């Protein structure tokens, strides 16, 4: 997707976010209100200025027929999907089970590792996580049934 259009969409999103926080800040009591209100007002003004400037940039570029930077979106979305999938797996099966499934499938399909290497890597990670957990008193996310 065109980088300038994405920038425009992002500044539009930030403008909406600051507008939301501004409206929300008006519902706070006076002492809780001043800080987020001032910040939100500043945010709304600046993002609006940036949004307009971005519209002009795009308009000028189209007039001059300049080369536009295109950002690939599908590939990043695929990897973001892997991250979210891993978290969903933790939510369903707990960290240990999710880590086994995620690591094994990722190493096989994305890293193109051999089955044996992937298996050894998974076992190694599980040992490390367990050792860290007991030695450094580290906790890990639990699943639906609290395991």
Partner 1 sequence: MIESAIEALMIVLDPSRLIYMFLGIGIGVIVGLLPGLSGTVGMSLLLPFVFGLEPYVGMALLIGMIAVIHTGDTFPSILFGIPGTSGSQATIMDGYPLTKKGGASRAMGASFFSSMIGGVIGGIALYLTIPFARPLITSFSSPELFMLTMLGLSMAGLLAGKSPIKGIISGILGLLIGAVGSAPAVPEYRYTLDTLYLTQGISLPVVAMAIFAFPILITMLTDKGSVSSHAKLQSGILKGVMDALKNKFLVFRSAVIGALIGFIPGLGGSVVDWIAYGAGQKTVKNNYFGSGDIRGVIAPESANNAKEGGSLVPTLLFGIPGSGTTAILLGGLTLMGLEAGPKMLSDDLPVTLSIVWTLVFANIFGALLCMLLVRPISKISLVPGEKIVPFLLVLLVVGAYQSTMSWGDLIVFVVIGLLGYVMTILDWPRPPLLIGFVLALPAERYYWISIERYGWEWLTNPLVIALAIIIVLLLAGGTIMKRFSKKFESKGGI
- The full DSSP string for 13-33 is HHHHHHHHHHHHHTTS-HHHH
Cβ proximity to partner 1: between 62 and 88 the closer is 88
**Shortest reach from residue 140's CB to partner 1, in Å:** 6
Give ∠ CA 48-52-55 in degrees, rounded to 5: 140
**Shortest reach from residue 71's CB to partner 1, in Å:** 6
Which residue in 16, 26, 28, 120 binds partner 1 (CB under 8 A)?
28
51 binding partner 1? (CB under 8 A): no
Tokens 């979210």 identify what position? 84
Number of residues that bind partner 1 (CB under 8 A): 58
147 binding partner 1? (CB under 8 A): no
79 binding partner 1? (CB under 8 A): yes
């Amino acid at each position: 997707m065109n980088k300038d259009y994405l920038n425009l969409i992002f500044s539009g999103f930030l403008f909406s976010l600051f507008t939301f926080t501004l409206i929300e800040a008006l519902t706070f009591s006076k002492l809780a209100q001043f800080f987020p209100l001032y910040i939100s007002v500043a945010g709304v003004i600046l993002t609006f200025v940036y949004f307009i400037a971005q519209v002009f940039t795009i308009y000028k570029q189209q007039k001059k027929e300049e080369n536009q930077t295109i950002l690939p979106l599908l590939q990043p979305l695929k990897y973001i999907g892997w991250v979210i999938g891993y978290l969903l797996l933790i939510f369903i099966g707990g960290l240990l089970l999710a880590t086994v499934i995620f690591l094994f499938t990722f190493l096989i399909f994305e890293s193109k590792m051999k089955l044996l290497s992937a298996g050894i890597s998974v076992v190694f990670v599980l040992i490390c996580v367990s050792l860290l957990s007991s030695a450094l008193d580290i906790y890990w996310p639990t699943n639906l049934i609290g395991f």
